[in-house]
Structure 1
Amino acid sequence: MTSTSVFVPACSAREVVRVYGSGAAEVRALSGVSVAFERGRFTAIMGPSGSGKSTLMHVLAGLDRVDGGSVVLHGDSGRADVEIGAASDDVLTALRRDRIGFVFQAFNLLPVLTARDNMLLPLRLAGTEPAEGWFAEVVGRLGLTDRLDHRPHEMSGGQQQRVAVARALLPQPDVIFADEPTGNLDSHAGAEVLALLRSSVREMGQTVVMVTHDPVAASYSDRVVLLADGRLAGEIPHPTADTVLDAMRELGAPVVTR
């Protein structure tokens, strides 16, 4: 894991602008945002509705293009830095397969496949297998050893999201982006998934960047980045649910907690 005394970025945005529409219908979702996300840390992105938090995650992950500025996925262990905004569609597809993991509010599991096959699908599409012993370690840590032959309809929501977390971890990506990963879960299952993301950072050295509206979810992170009106609005190191709730109230955001 990265030493706390040296900030090593996993991904970063510099003066990023993203505009939707034109003329009277123009919406500036991001207006010159510059921010970096530390390798081996858990960062939450928060802000009021329309603040640009989901847009920021989408451009960092190569799911959306920028209209100005630059987005970089930083390399490590022999992997090169990649300028996301300048990358071709083929390069972006390879990055999303090999170096970027995703966990969404919707579990996005294929109903006809077992948990094992859902976990391994991205790697198999790439013609590869997980590193020796890595599959067993991930499955064991996520408590899914006895669920590998179950299909999604045979598992609870929390178990399905754990399968999605395993699918994201197995390629050993540079960064995992989690978009409201507990949005479809009850409070108990949500806490389980957040604890798993937290342990993937502490115990496996993973980098996680999560968009959430929930101060309790954000309190699992090492740092909260705040957005408002498409601009950075501050950050909270070592957040607690209370410090996040206070910051969101200052930004005028209605806050719903579990």
Structure 2
Amino acid sequence: MNTPTTRRKGAALEAVDLVKRFGEGETAVTAVAGVNIGFSPGEFVAVMGPSGSGKSTLMNLLAGLDTPTSGRVMVEGKDLAGLDDRRLTRLRRERIGFVFQAFNLMPTLTAEQNILLPLKLSGRTPDRAFFDEIVGSLRIQDRLAHRPSEMSGGQQQRVAVARALLTKPAVVFADEPTGALDVSTSHELLGRLREASTRLGQTIVMVTHDPVAATYADRVLLLSDGALHGTIERPTTNEVLAAMARAEG
């Protein structure tokens, strides 16, 4: 295990002295405590730590879904603090993709409509060849006319992944993406995220509790009490399990 890497030249995503506190005075809680980290283009990174370590808060800050108490987040060199609401919304829609454990699909839309929704909202024309490639690789081409209620959990999650990748974002955030999936479907999904990083050059930031899922990443960031306490390069399941045991002990 190595000490955390703090800055990366040409980073697709970067946090500088990032702090997030909730409350004030003696009751204040620091959820993220001075994090410095950079994510390279095409890198797949897993973020792990005990419950309450600040993983989800860190991801929300990095994705521009929450505002830091202090510090900066930069996506492709753009400081999120310098963007007004309109420009921040546009950046999230066009340069950031999201995959959530709860899928977050629109129940009244078909799978195809859900996948195309971010492009429709931004007024962009979909690349149909790329669309066909993504839905084919995720094996959902025969489910495109179905609504979420007519699909299994694994199929819904694959639709969510297709939606995240179709806009060709610089960064894809995945929050416990395999938490509601069986083992076989989890491996398929993780393989697609791995391919998105290696072949499409997209940066993947995945929050997970699963040590097996973490082995798909190039490195694992270990978070404890809101601070980075180490990294594991080219992680193995045993290394991740040992690091998590130390963090929880």
Amino acid at match of 2:158: R
How far residue 91 of structure 1 moved from its aligned partner, in angstroms, is 1.4
Measure the CA separation in 2 of the matches of 1:145 and 1:205. 24
Larger mean Cα displacement after TM superposition, 84-93 or 238-247: 84-93
**Deviation of the 1:203 alpha carbon:** 2.4
Aligned equivalents of 2:211 and 2:184: distance in 1? 15
Name stretches of at least 5 consecutive residues in structure 2 with no aligned partner. 1-7
The answer to which structure, 1 or 2, has the higher relative contact order (CA under 8 A, 6+ apart) is 2
Q: Which moved more, 1:65-74 or 1:181-190?
A: 181-190
> 1:157–1:189: 8 Å Cα contact kept in structure 2?
no
Within-5 A mapping of 1:51-70: 51-70=53-72
Give the partner amino acid of 1:68.
S
| 1:78 alignment counterpart | none
Check whether the contact 1:99–1:173 (CA below 8 A) recurs between aligned residues: yes
Q: What SS class does the counterpart of residue 184 from structure 1 fall into?
A: coil
Match of 1:123 in 2: 119
Residue aligned with 1:101, SS = strand
Aligned AA (1:48): P
- Give the aligned partner of residue 28 of structure 2: 26
| Cα distance, 1:206 vs structure 2 | 1.8
% same residue = 55
SS at match of 1:143: coil
TM-superposed CA distance for 1:252, in Å, is 1.5
Q: Give me the CA root mean square deviation.
A: 1.4
Instruction: Tell me the equivalent position of 1:243.
Output: 239
Match of 1:216 in 2: 212
CA distance in 1, matches of 2:241, 2:126: 40
Post-superposition Cα deviations, 1:181-212, rounded to whole Å, max 9, x if no partner, equal 11111222222211211122222222110001
The one-letter amino acid of 1:93's match is T
- Find out whether 1:226 has 2:222 as its counterpart: yes
Q: Which residue of 2 aligns with 1:94?
A: 90
List runs of 5+ in structure 1 lacking aligned partners. Answer: 1-5, 75-80, 254-258
Distance apart, 1:7 and its partner CA: 5.7
